[in-house]
Amino acid sequence: MTRITAWRRHPLARYAVLIFALALVGMVYAAFVQAGKPADAALAAGKVDDVAEGKSLFVQHCSSCHGMNAEGVTDKAPTLIGVGAAAVDFQMSTGRMPAGAPAPQVPRKPPAPWVNETTTRQIAAYVQSLGGGPQVPAPEQVDPKLGDAGRGGELFRANCIQCHNWVGAGGALTQGKYAPNLNEATPTQIYSAMITGPQAMPVFNDSTITPEEKRDMIAYITQVRSQRDPGGFGLGRIGPVTEGLVAWIVGLSALALAAIWITAKKRQKS
């Protein structure tokens, strides 16, 4: 056996290879990220025209459904003129757009590989340039720390829970549609959804529910969804359906097993 073979068969060898491979992947990734940075910096400095970039991305990725000029295609996709940057930001950052297979409702999913903050901003800028519409909210507009959860809770109960449930666990709508779970939605996405009304969701514009009130609602949603369930496992926080299931499947089965044990006749050991 040569020395190399001996090393190769050393118990630690596999770990060493693994670490080496991981390090390599990390370095390659870091190199690519480095390469990407100057472009971002250029964009931030406004050196590249977002609208023009956005238009070319739009033509490439979106126009097959929404039309070459975002005018919409009957029975296929709505017009995007006037929907605003907020709608684009919401739809793309939640992975809903570009849409996948046809379904009663386009689900939240991991964004397509080409979708990132930059491309989203560029397409948003392009769509905004077409006919205005709601803008993406500024970070302090959606900062839960600045909101009043108590007041937000009242508004949330008045306007949101009928579809999204008390804690935003979601619920069913007609014909296979549903109100999604809000647990993954970022504050910006929650805000954008309210002002743009994606898919079946109605619009809550800023002139009737003010931006401050929306921030209160975001404060309530984020506080309640992240708080601990003091009574044990939350059982999905969907109410009595799961509680009933647990009562029967866990509670009653456990007691039936206890009854069987208590009354079992002892078998003679052979």
In the range 125-154, which residues lie near another protein by CB under 8 A?
148-151, 153-154
Which range touches another protein (CB under 8 A), out of 32-40, 50-58, 108-116, 219-227?
Answer: 219-227
Q: How far is CA 202 from CA 148, 212, 257, in A?
A: 24, 19, 50
- Cα angle: 135, vertex 42, 123; to 5 degrees: 35
Structure tokens at 194: 């309210």
Which range touches another protein (CB under 8 A), out of 4-12, 42-50, 63-71, 173-181?
Answer: 173-181
265 binds another protein (CB under 8 A): yes
Which of the residues 90 through 109 are near another protein (CB under 8 A)? Answer: 104
65 marked as binding residue: yes
Is the CA virtual torsion 90, 93, 99, 101 positive or negative?
Answer: negative
Give the three-class secondary structure for 224.
helix
Radius of gyration over every alpha carbon of the chain, rounded to an integer in angstroms: 26
Which of the residues 66 through 85 are near another protein (CB under 8 A)? Answer: none
Q: How far apart are CA 254 and CA 258, in angstroms?
A: 6
- Cβ neighbors of 265 (< 8 A, separation 6 or more) are none
29 marked as binding residue: no
Cis peptide before 98 (omega within 30 of 0): yes
Closer Cβ to another protein, 116 or 206, answer by number: 206
Q: How far is the CB of 51 from another protein (least distance, A)?
A: 24
Q: How far is the CB of 126 from another protein (least distance, A)?
A: 22
Q: How far apart are CA 268 and CA 34, in angstroms?
A: 74
Structure tokens at 208: 């009737």
Closer Cβ to another protein, 54 or 133, answer by number: 133
Q: Specify the length of the chain in residues.
A: 270
Q: Which of 173, 183, 186, 211 binds another protein (CB under 8 A)?
A: 173
Structure tokens at 142: 């959606």
Closer Cβ to another protein, 2 or 208, answer by number: 208
If we measure between CA atoms, which residue out of 141, 136, 151, 133 comes closest to residue 220?
151
217 marked as binding residue: no
Q: How far apart are CA 13 and CA 20, in angstroms?
A: 11
Closer Cβ to another protein, 36 or 251, answer by number: 251
Write the binding mask 179 to 218 for another protein: x where contact by CB under 8 A, - elsewhere. Answer: x-----------------x-xxxxxxx-xxx---x-----
Q: Which of 79, 177, 183, 186 binds another protein (CB under 8 A)?
A: 177
Q: How far is the CB of 140 from another protein (least distance, A)?
A: 21
Q: Which of 87, 163, 185, 218 binds another protein (CB under 8 A)?
A: 163
Closer Cβ to another protein, 48 or 148, answer by number: 148
163 marked as binding residue: yes
**Binding site members for heme c:** 62, 65-66, 160, 163-164
